């Protein structure tokens, strides 16, 4: 049975088979994503192993109450509204410079424009499709798998580590000032097995894997156009 394409951004642009070929996404991979079976760019077998080893790592680090969700374009096909698709030369050059820490050469700039025009010369999506900037040449790495872990057990362990230094948890900025997840330097050092899992998971699927840890309430509610707070449409990751 043919699965109807369902990836549509907020402007109404709908992903086509030609877009999938441009992005290097097979129809089988897309259909599996559309059925909610596997994230983009992850095989069914790899996804089973990712989930199994993730929850093993969480339990080994003392996190036994984790609510895990997949965020970002691997789950939604498009990045959030904070990451619009780039079309102008200036935008492409700036993105390349941000990611590569250098300016692109004239050849690299022309190549980005040519790749972009080969697919979306007249009109394209307003939101950034999965892997689009990597295919065009502006991004240094492929789109990542972004795991969101919410847990009060993790919160207690982080606060306990700070109290062991005989200071109040309020004395250390424990959470990211913009996004409210626990600072990466705390989670990387406190949850060693989870940190090791992230490295090995990235090696297994050959693309970046990120983990953000929140307390059990999850990301804060936002009244703006973009919010990572719990939603009924979230991609749930279960053991």
Give the pTM. Answer: 0.88
**What 3-state DSSP class applies to 27?**
helix
179 sits in which H/E element: none
pLDDT at 70: 97
Distant-in-sequence contacts of 156-164, Cβ < 8 A, 24+ apart: 157/61, 157/62, 157/63, 157/190, 157/191, 158/182, 158/186, 158/187, 158/190, 161/186, 161/190
pLDDT at 223: 53
CA atoms within 13 A on the CB side of 222: 13
pLDDT at 1: 38
- Tell me the average confidence (pLDDT) per consecutive run of 10 residues in the chain, 239 residues long: 66 94 96 95 96 98 97 95 94 97 98 96 91 98 96 94 84 78 90 98 96 91 61 92
């Amino acid at each position: 049975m043919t699965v109807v394409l369902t990836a549509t951004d907020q402007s109404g642009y709908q992903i086509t088979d030609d877009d999938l070929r441009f992005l290097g996404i097979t129809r089988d991979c897309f259909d599996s994503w559309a059925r909610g079976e596997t994230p983009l760019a992850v095989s069914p077998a790899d996804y089973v192993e990712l989930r199994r080893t993730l929850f093993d790592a969480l339990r080994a680090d003392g996190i036994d109450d984790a609510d895990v969700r997949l965020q970002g374009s691997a789950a939604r096909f498009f990045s959030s509204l904070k990451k619009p698709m780039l079309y102008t030369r200036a935008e492409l050059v700036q993105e390349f410079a941000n990611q590569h820490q250098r300016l692109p050469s004239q050849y690299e700039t022309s190549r980005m424009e040519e790749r972009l025009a080969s697919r979306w010369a007249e009109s394209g999506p307003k939101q950034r499709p999965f892997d689009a900037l990597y295919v065009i040449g502006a991004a240094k790495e492929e789109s990542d798998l972004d795991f969101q872990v919410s847990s009060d057990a993790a919160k207690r362990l982080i606060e306990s580590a700070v109290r062991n230094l005989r200071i109040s948890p309020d004395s250390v900025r424990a959470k990211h000032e913009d996004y409210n997840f626990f600072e990466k330097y705390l989670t990387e050092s406190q949850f060693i097995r989870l940190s090791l899992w992230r490295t090995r998971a990235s090696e297994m699927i050959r693309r970046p894997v990120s983990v953000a840890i929140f307390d059990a309430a999850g990301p804060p509610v936002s009244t703006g156009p973009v919010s990572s707070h719990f939603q009924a449409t979230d991609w749930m990751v279960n053991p």
